[in-house]
Amino acid sequence: MTLRSAGPHHGQPVAHSGVAIERARSAMVLVHGRGDSAPGILQLADILPVPGMAYLAPQASGSTWYPNRFLAPIATNEPWLSSALDGLGDLLEQIEAVGVSPARTVLLGFSQGGCLALEFAVRHPRRYGALVGLSGGLIGPPGTVWPRAGSLDGTPVFLGCSDVDTHIPASRVMESAEVLRGVGGDVNAVLYPGMDHTVSQSEIEEVRRLVVPLGGEHTSVDRGGGRTGGIE
């Protein structure tokens, strides 16, 4: 698979592990942080093994989804941001086309990738298998008003971040939690005291709790019918 969106991320490759997507019962889209890579975040598949799951990680052009901080005015991150969001949408469409519904697809991102995953979900709310933002928050400067149309329809959501993260203000994490609750997400947001800008074992356990129910035997689908990053 590649990203078919227009703009800077057009044609970027998508790394894969786990079950072949054509035989998968469920899928996880993993979105890397600034300066990281698809193979880097795909290492999470090894510590979040789910039977019957395909793991797919798109690669950002230049290892960066957008150039400025996630708190910067939206226009300063264009056209990279729109290209990245459209690329995620295209990837989800490709996954659905081979028979894995959004309701069985997890959208997970870390750092800049976490911001991107959450922003995509609030702009395109529907029932997902789960939504996970690790050290991330919704994108936009203070005072941003996010869309409230549509519904996540009870999608399990986990937000985890340090309470002293130098890139992601704790206030934005909690604000993001409230916005996602407002569009029907079943949100659990946790601030970890003094944690670095990283993924903790406690966060892994929270994610595991959400994704294990999506496991199952491999099925034949009817096709007819490093994880670190700089500023966000």
Q: What residues pair up with 134 in beta bridges, in sequence order?
A: 110, 160
Specify the amino acid at residue 125. Answer: P
The answer to whether residues 26 and 129 touch, using CB atoms and an 8 Å cutoff, is yes
Phi first, then psi: what are they for 112, rounded to 5°?
Answer: -55, -35
How far apart are the C-alpha atoms of 197 and 175, rounded to whole Å? 19
| pLDDT of 142 | 96
Question: pTM higher than 0.95, yes or no?
Answer: no
Intra-chain end-to-end CA distance of the chain, in Å: 26
| pLDDT of 225 | 33
Per-residue pLDDT of the chain (232 residues; tens, 9 = 90+): 999 999 999 999 999 999 999 999 999 999 999 999 999 999 999 999 999 999 999 999 999 999 999 999 999 999 999 999 999 999 999 999 999 999 999 999 999 999 999 999 999 999 999 999 999 999 999 999 998 889 999 999 999 999 999 999 999 999 999 999 999 999 999 999 999 999 999 999 999 999 999 987 544 333 333 343 444 5
| pLDDT of 227 | 41
Q: How far is CA 13 from CA 5, 9, 22, in A?
A: 12, 9, 18
The sign of the dihedral angle between the CA atoms of 12, 25, 131, 213 is negative
Quick one: tokens of 74? 């939206």
Q: Which CATH class is domain 14-214?
A: alpha beta
Domain boundaries, the chain: 14-214
**What digits encode the pLDDT tens for the residues 35-70?**
999 999 999 999 999 999 999 999 999 999 999 999
| pLDDT of 219 | 41
Q: What residues pair up with 107 in beta bridges, in sequence order?
A: 29, 131
Residues that are catalytic: 111, 165, 197
How far apart are the C-alpha atoms of 137 and 11, rounded to whole Å? 26
